[in-house]
A and B are shown apart, each in its own frame.
Chain A
């Protein structure tokens, strides 16, 4: 299996621009998670989906952030407009859910976002 795939791996943008991060979970996994990692705050959960439905978005910092999962193999995290404080590494993770009998999460390689 290819594992969780994220794109782009690096993104540099200017303040005010729209940023879209993409994630392809492991095939057959029912759960998809978006996390953000910074030195100050560590690794934080932003939102997660079960069978393409958002379950908990309480970690989304503000309305500038939105996430979608139009099908089982694709999710996006959008920031509009972006701000320098959004600079972080954004990880996507997936989990097989009940079928897997475990709540182990498998992380993608991450997208390093820099907002100038």
Chain B
């Protein structure tokens, strides 16, 4: 049974600060890890994916993966009010091509306070 756990929040962060979102997963066979952002009433949109242990940076976003601890995190630097949304962590068995269904966590609701 693949499970992905996230703290539902809400996580409240002051504007300009770093927001830290965490996710754990149960299946050690998981290969690919994704962070999606979902605004209320909208569809999920991909922010980042990560396949290898360590950090991956893209603009204000940094994804961190620790396969030994089965832990994925997303850091958002210089948080903006427009970052207020629900952040979904997702995992899949396959990586770098091909596809498999995503197993999602229930999401963390992030609020950036102006």
State how many angstroms separate the Cβ of A59 from the closest Cβ of chain B.
7
In the complex formed, the residue of A with least CB distance to B97 is: A98
List 15 additional A-B contacts (Cβ < 8 Å) besides A33-B99, A43-B88, A97-B97.
A35-B102, A42-B104, A42-B105, A45-B103, A48-B100, A59-B101, A91-B43, A98-B98, A103-B32, A103-B98, A104-B49, A105-B99, A106-B46, A107-B43, A108-B43
| Contact partner, A104, options B46, B88, B101, Cβ 8 Å | B46
| Contact partner, A103, options B43, B97, B104, Cβ 8 Å | B97
Is B94 in contact with chain A by the CB < 8 A criterion? Answer: yes
Is A18 in contact with chain B by the CB < 8 A criterion? Answer: no
Q: Looking at chain B's contact residues, is the secondary structure mostly helix, strand, loop, or mixed?
A: loop
How many A-B pairs with Cβ below 8 Å? 62
Q: Which residues of A contact B101 (CB under 8 A)?
A: 33, 45, 48, 56, 59
Residues of A within 8 A of B (CB): 30-31, 33, 35, 42-45, 48, 50, 56, 59, 91, 95, 97-98, 100-110
Measured as residues with beta carbon below 8 angstroms from the partner, the interface class of chain B is 20 to 34
Given contacts A43-B88, A108-B43, A109-B43, contact A103 B105 (CB under 8 A): no
